[in-house]
Amino acid sequence: MRPPQPRTSLLTLLAALLAAPDAARAEVPHLVRVDAARALRPLRPFWRSTGFCPPLPHNQADQFVLSWDQQLNLAYVGAVPHGGIEQVRTHWLLDLVTARGAAGQGLRYNFTQLDTYLDLLKQNQLLPGFELMGSPSGHFTDFEDKQQVFEWKDLVSVLARRYIGRYGLAQVSRWNFETWNEPDHHDFDNVSMTEQGFLNYYDACSEGLRVASPELRLGGPADSFREPPKSPLSWGLLRHCAHGTNFFTGEQGVRLDFISLHRKGSGSSIAILEQEAVVLGQIQQLFPEFKDTPIYNDEADPLVGWLLPQPWRADVTYAALVVKVIAQHQNLLVANASTAQYKLLSNDNAFLSYHPHPFSQRTLTARFQVNNTRPPHVQLLRKPVLTAMGLLALLDGEQLWAEVSRAGAVLDSNHTVGVLASAHRPEGPDDAWRATVLVYASDDTRAHPDRRVPVTVRLLGVPAGPGLVYTTRYLDNRLCSPQREWRRAGRPAFPSAEQFRRMRAAEDPVAAAPRPFPVGGRLTLRPELALPSLLLVHVCARPSGPPGQVTRLRVLPLTRGQLALVWSDERVGTKCVPVDIRDPFLPRWPGVQPGQQEAVNVQPLHIQPRCTHSHRPGFSPLCAGPPTYLAGGPRASGRGWVQGHELKATGTLVLQTQLLSLAPTVFEPWTTGPGQAPSPTLCRTWRSLLPEGRQLQADWQGA
């Protein structure tokens, strides 16, 4: 079996790609020009959202959304650096609530399971895309029943007040409350939803939220808006909000804080935008009063059907396609403010894959349910599309002028090669000027393993600054595909620890150490890009102060001898500090795998101490000591300045985070499976959720 390529050889290969001579190219090169001195407009990261739907039966949604597998999945989603994913839009949330009481006699609700899920999101620094969808204990069946309409308003009001009290208005006012998903698809379970019933339901949602706080926003209808007379509930909602009568107040018109629609690509990137343009044109023609209403496409996937296995969903093809779709929207739609107030694009890809398709479903991670261990356990791998969200997170501030041309002809974003570039002005002493250039090579869902695309990248107008350096990160299917390593291993259903190590070694982009930026503010690179691939150029000036502290360090158990570290960079203050996990005790702890962690702030570790006379399985305080985890940027041998973070374990029971000073975070090492917690105390310390199989305490609240 081929061992994974060492980091030095990967960097050598990347250097060769960046320095390939013109004579070696069979194609006319694409010219990518970026002017760091020409800021066009603010670049708002409208793409930081994902979503999923629990499986049937929906009245047992807790068994999925609160499962250990989904806890791990959300840890990976929330660990994208710099808030690269902020929202998880979730179906059937109100089926996590149970109801007691009879109609007309008052209802009491148990929110415990919903509390637990929302706490899990908050722990991972994620916001809910809160669809007011589901029927607690099957109580709501008909929204033409006036009694049920009033009860629904009370439920929404109680729910909103509860979470304002739990998390604060500043937090809950950031949530996107939304209608029942895709009402024109009639997926209501046992609820009867006529057009009038849907409008009554919407008014109850609106007024219930308003009672809690007028600062809470509500939108919808989260559907495809097919041409009238199709999609009667969607068009009916717009008509009602514009001219209809509010069920509760009798006033004309009802607030609509955003219009959400669903248009997907059928395998084509530009098809998403083209379909959106048609719908937006129809909305503006029929309802000009909504011209300035924010537009969300919160299911903008390249292809319908999350569980449909597709080879391109497994590798960099999907990652580059997602970046291409985002660049198209920024350059062709967002840049044209007169067209629409486009505010959010979400891929619905936070599902959990299942055997025999761990990589090829529409997911951010690849799940392996390893049933040949005692107890069985779950491993997740980061797919390239999740890594791409980490690269996108480096874009912020202001969009820079950028242009792609070939043989003198300027190309728009609907071509194989495209670019999105930004510059950031410092916001504090631990911050500094930086620029990011993200180049994609994508033929939508098609991969061309034998084709290379010559590109010349010219970055100019970079202002002089202290310690100015640049680095590159590169992602393609030959160097950065865990699925490729899995296939090379024979597609094992239960990969070994060594096979997982090889797959994880292929998760990250190939990164070059920082180099001094050329004097004069101009940089030229001549890479040959695989098709598909992503190339990121990152330019950073040295900040006047050190970066902030890594926080929220926690540990998630995987299986015997294996755990995952998760941390937050919310207080770091700069995007120019990558993260390394290093271990000076490697001779004594040979299973701990070091590696750069720039795309996701989560690091699975495999710990196998040589001496085994410990009183706890998988941990030995009688050895030389636990490993030290060093998280830092490339130590650029005098050429770079990048400082890093140190995540340091001291003694046997306390893990500390260190950057210039120590900030203790208490935990006790636990390397058995999730269902094998040594004590409830440790379980509460390490996980916000109780072990699977434990009963949750009931917390009933009346409307």
Token pair 């929220």: residue: 552
Q: Which sign does the torsion angle of CA 241, 242, 245, 246 carry?
A: positive
Task: Return all residues near 240 (Cβ < 8 A) that are at least 6 apart.
Answer: 199, 202, 254
Cβ–Cβ < 8 Å for 300, 346:
yes
Active site residue 403: no
Q: Which residues pair with 410 in a beta bridge?
A: 405
501's CB contacts (< 8 A; 6+ apart) are 4, 593, 606
User: Alpha-carbon Rg of the chain, whole angstroms?
Assistant: 26
Phi and psi torsions of 634, nearest 5°: -60, 130
**Three-state DSSP state, 133:** coil
Q: Which of 649, 648, 584, 582 is nearest to 621 (CA)?
A: 649
Helix (H, G, I), strand (E, B) or coil at 486: helix
Q: How far is Cα 248 from Cα 219, in angstroms, rounded to an integer?
A: 18
Task: Give, to the nearest 10 degrees, the angle between helix 195-212 and helix 232-243.
Answer: 50
Return d(Cα 324, Cα 320) in angstroms, integer: 6
Q: Give phi and psi for 330, each to the nearest 5.
A: -65, -45
Which residue intervals of 430-535 are DSSP H helices?
482-488, 497-505
Cα–Cα distances (Å) from 454 to 209, 417, 440, 442, 529, in that order, read: 54, 10, 12, 13, 6
What single-letter amino acid sits at 525?
A: L
* DSSP output for 189-235: TT-B--HHHHHHHHHHHHHHHHHH-TT-EEEEEEE--PSTTSSHHHH
Of the candidates 43, 56, 46, 568, which has an alpha carbon nearest to the alpha carbon of residue 347? 46
Catalytic residue among 182, 207, 485, 646: 182
- Given the DSSP bridges, would you call strands 523-525 and 409-411 parallel, antiparallel or unpaired? unpaired
Please give the C-alpha separations between residue 205 and each of 41, 167, 189, 321, in angstroms, as whole numbers.
Answer: 36, 20, 19, 36
Q: Which residues contact 60 (CB under 8 A, 6 or more apart)?
A: none
DSSP-based three-state secondary structure for 138: helix
* C-alpha angle 345-506-437 in degrees, rounded to nearest 5: 45
In the 3-class helix/strand/coil scheme, how is 309-374 assigned residue by residue? CCHHHHCHHHHHHHHHHHHHHHHHHHCCCCCCCEEEECCCCECCCCCCCCCCCCECEEEEEECCCC
Please tell me the chain's helix, strand, coil percentages from 3-state DSSP, rounded to the nearest 5: 25, 25, 45
| Catalytically active residues, by annotation | 182
